A and B are shown apart, each in its own frame.
Chain A
Amino acid sequence: MAQHTRKGAQFQALTANRLSDGIVVYLTADDRWSESLQEAEVAEGKEAAEALLARAEPSVADNTVVEPYLFEVAKEADGIRAASVRETIRQAGPTVRLDLGKQAELPGVHS
C-alpha cells in the first residue's frame, strides 16, 4: 500500500480512487466517498487513523474504490488542508490548465 503520510502525523484523512472513473475521493464520517476533501473525516492520532483505514475495506471489497490510503492533513480556520504538494494536487487538480476541471472549480487552493 502506498505510503503518503508520515510517522507522527497528528491529523490524517483517507483517500482512494473511484474504480469506474479513477476520480479522487475521500471517506466521510457517514461512510460515503466524497469528491470534496472538506467532507472528509479527519482522524486524530494513530489509533483513530488505523480505524479510519480499516473502514475502507468494504468499499474495496464491493469494488467502489481502489488503492485507499491515509495522508496527512491540517485543520485550519478555512477548512481541511492537505499537508503535501502531492495531496494538494490530488485534491484540487493539476496546477496547470487552470481553465479545466477541479483546478478551475476550486480557485485559491493552488496559490
Chain B
Amino acid sequence: MYRYDEFDHQLVNERVAQFSGQVARRLSGELTEDEFKPLRLMNGVYLQLHAYMLRIAVPYGTLSSKQMRMLAHIGRKYDRGYGHFTTRQNLQFNWPALKDVPDILKDLASVEMHCIQTSGNCIRNVTSDQYAGAAKSEIEDPRIVSEIIRQWSTFHPEFSFLPRKFKIAVTGTPDDRAAIRVHDIGIQIVQDDKQNIGYEIYVGGGLGRTPMIGKKIADFVPKEDLLAYLEAIMRVYNMYGRRDNIYKARIKILVHEIGVEEMKRQVEAEFAEVRKAGTLHLPEEEVARIEAYFQAPAYESLPDESTELNKAVLADRDFANWVKSNVAQHRVPGYAIVNISLKPIGGTPGDCSSDQMDAVADIAEKYSFDELRVTHEQNLTLAHVRKKDLHAVYEALKKHDLATANINLITDQIACPGLDYCALANARSIPLAQEISRRFADIERQHEIGELKINTSGCINACGHHHVGHIGILGVDKKGVEYYQVTLGGAADEKTAIGDIVGRAFTEDEIVDAIETIVTTYIGKRNEGERFIDTYRRIGVEPFKESLYETH
C-alpha cells in the first residue's frame, strides 16, 4: 500500500489546520454561510436532510486495517455507530456535528486519511478495481497509475475550479469492475505486442440526467506520457466545458456536442503542446518509487488445490454457496479473493457498523495482509486470502452478519441514500432495496436466478447507478408521492450499456411485484445457463413490457 511521504503529511496537516480555522470562524460568525459553503464542500462536508454528512476519501478503494479501525472509532465517537460505503468507494458518515469535524479530520490525518477531492468541481478521488493486484488477467496493478493521478491532481491549481466535478477510473484487466466507461475519463491498462504497458483512454462517460457511454480517444498512450495526455484532456475541458449551465457542464456534454473526432483532435493538439514543454514526462525513478508500494505481498508457495477447502465445501452447504458467489479466482496458486457482502437480507446497501468495521479490520489483519478494499458496488473485498483459510474467514465474517452469499446476485443491490438522508433526492431508495432483498431472501432461489444487478437511485443524479443496472430503478416525485421508473438492460462492465425505460412508473406498492414479474419473465425465456443480461440482449424489452403491463 502507498505510504505518505513528508509532502503528503504536510499537505494534509496544513489542510486540516486551514479548515479547522474556517469552521471556527463560521461558528463564531466571522464567515457567513455563503462564504463558508464552498469551503466546507472542498472538505467533504455536505448539509443533508437531517444533519451534516462527511465524505471520507478512500483512494482507489484501498484501506489498511488500521485505517478501517479509525473509521470505526470515528463512527462510534462522533456519529451513530455506523458508516455508509458509497458507489465512489468512499465512506460517508450521516450524522457528524460541524463543530466536531476538525477533530474528525485530525483523527483521519493520523492514519493518512482525509476528505480532500470528495466534493466540489475538482478531479475527484480516483476509483479503481477492487481486485487490483490480485486479479488473474491483470496487466498491471491499476493502483500505481491511480496513485500517480492522485499526486498530480490533488490541489492542482489549474483544475481546482473546473466547470463541474470530474471523475477518473482505472482498470488493469480486460474485464471491467471499475465501470470505466461511465466516468469522465476511463483508463484501461493495455499492453502492446512488445509487452510495453500503455493506456487506452475513454472520455465523456457519465450517468446523471444525461447518461453517456465514454468514447475511446486513444488506443495506446505510452506510460511516460499518461499525465501529459490527461492534462491535455483537462485543458480542453477547462477551456470549452459549459460553465453557463450546470446541466451541460460535464465533459460528456462537450464530447457529445463537438463529437469524438473533434475532441480527439483538440486533445492531440494540446497533448503535443504539453509534451513539448516536457514537464509532465513521468520520470522512471518516481514511477518505480510508487510501484514499490504496490509490490505483491509475501505470498506463500502453496498448491492451488486446498483439501481443507474442498472438505469444508462438501460439509457445509451455506459455505459452499458463499464460496460460489463471494469468492473469486486469484492470480497466485493457493490464494483466493474474498468479497464481503454489505447487503444482508433486509439491510441498507453499503452500511457498516463500527463493530463490523473493527471485525473486518481484524480479519484482514489476520488473513489478508492487513489490507481491505471498498468496491463501487458498495461491498468490501479481502484481496489475498489463502484458500485453506476460507472457511475460517467465512466463520469469522458470519459472526458479524457479514457472510451473506449474494455477490452479483439479485439482493446484491446498489442503492443511493435516497430521500431517507439526501437533500437532493425525490424518493426513497433504501426501503425499496430492503423490500426487494426480503422478497428474494431465499439464497437457493437467488443462486437459481443467477447474476442480476438491481441498481436504485432516488433522483436523476443517479448516485445509485440505475442507468447501468441490469434492472435499474429511478425514484421520481409526482405531487409529493414516490413513483419508481424501471429500466432494463443496463450494464457497467466491458459491455457497458444504458438501460431502456420499460414503461410507465410504478407506485411503491407495485414496484416489488414488478421486479418479481421481470424475474419470472426472464426465467421463462432464458436459455440454459443464460444470465439475465444476456437474455435481455437476445430478446429485448418487449416480452418484459408485455408481462409487466398486461397484468397491471
Contacts and interface: CB of A to CB of B under 8 A. Distances in A.
B419 A85 contact: yes
B83 to A, nearest CB: 12
A5 to B, nearest CB: 11
Contact of A23 (B27, B50, B348, B427): B50
Given A66-B47, A96-B431, A22 B419 contact: no
Nearest to A100: B80
Contact of A21 (B99, B348, B431): B99
Contacts of A85: 419, 427-428, 480-482
Interface string A49-75: 000000000001011001100000000
Interface in B421-439: 421, 427-428, 430-431, 434
A7 to B, nearest CB: 13
Interface string A89-107: 1100111110011100000
A109 interface: no
A24 interface: yes
A19 to B, nearest CB: 7
Contacts of A97: 82, 348
Interface of A: 17, 19-24, 60, 62-63, 66-67, 83-86, 89-90, 93-97, 100-102
Given A63-B28, A101-B50, 6 more contacts: A19-B27, A19-B98, A22-B98, A89-B420, A94-B430, A96-B348
A99 to B, nearest CB: 10
B29 interface: yes
B419 A63 contact: no
B97 interface: yes
B382 to A, nearest CB: 26
A93 B419 CA distance: 10
Contacts of A89: 49, 419-420, 428
Nearest to A84: B480
Contact of A17 (B29, B47, B81, B419): B47
7 interchain residue pairs of minimum CB distance: A21-B97, A94-B420, A22-B51, A22-B52, A63-B29, A84-B480, A96-B430
Contacts of B331: none
Interface string B469-482: 00000000000111
Interface in B75-112: 80-82, 95, 97-99
A83 B480 CA distance: 8
A24 B480 contact: no
Nearest to B49: A90
Interface string B23-61: 000111100010000000000000111111000000000
B53 to A, nearest CB: 8
B434 A96 contact: yes
Interface string B178-201: 000000000000000000000000
B97 A22 contact: yes
26 contacts: A17-B47, A17-B51, A20-B27, A20-B97, A21-B97, A22-B47, A22-B50, A22-B51, A22-B98, A23-B50, A63-B27, A66-B33, A66-B47, A83-B480, A85-B427, A86-B49, A90-B50, A94-B50, A96-B420, A96-B431, A96-B434, A97-B82, A101-B50, A101-B80, A101-B95, A102-B50
A85 B431 CA distance: 13
A89 to B, nearest CB: 6
A67 B47 contact: yes
A42 to B, nearest CB: 18
Contacts of B427: 85
B354 to A, nearest CB: 13
A102 to B, nearest CB: 8
Contacts of A83: 480
A60 B34 CA distance: 11
A73 to B, nearest CB: 13
A23 B98 CA distance: 10
A22 B36 CA distance: 14
Contact of B26 (A63, A67, A96, A101): A63
Contacts of A23: 50-51
Contacts of B420: 89, 94-96
Nearest to A21: B97
A7 B427 CA distance: 21
A57 to B, nearest CB: 13
A90 B430 CA distance: 16
Nearest to A97: B348
A105 to B, nearest CB: 13
A42 B219 CA distance: 63
A19 B28 CA distance: 11
B99 A22 contact: no
Nearest to A67: B47
Contact of A95 (B82, B428, B480): B428
Contacts of B80: 100-101
Nearest to B31: A63
A85 B427 CA distance: 8
Contact of A22 (B29, B48, B481): B48
Contacts of B98: 19-22
Contacts of A90: 49-50
A94 to B, nearest CB: 4
A62 B434 contact: no
Contacts of A24: 49-50
Nearest to B423: A2
B353 to A, nearest CB: 10
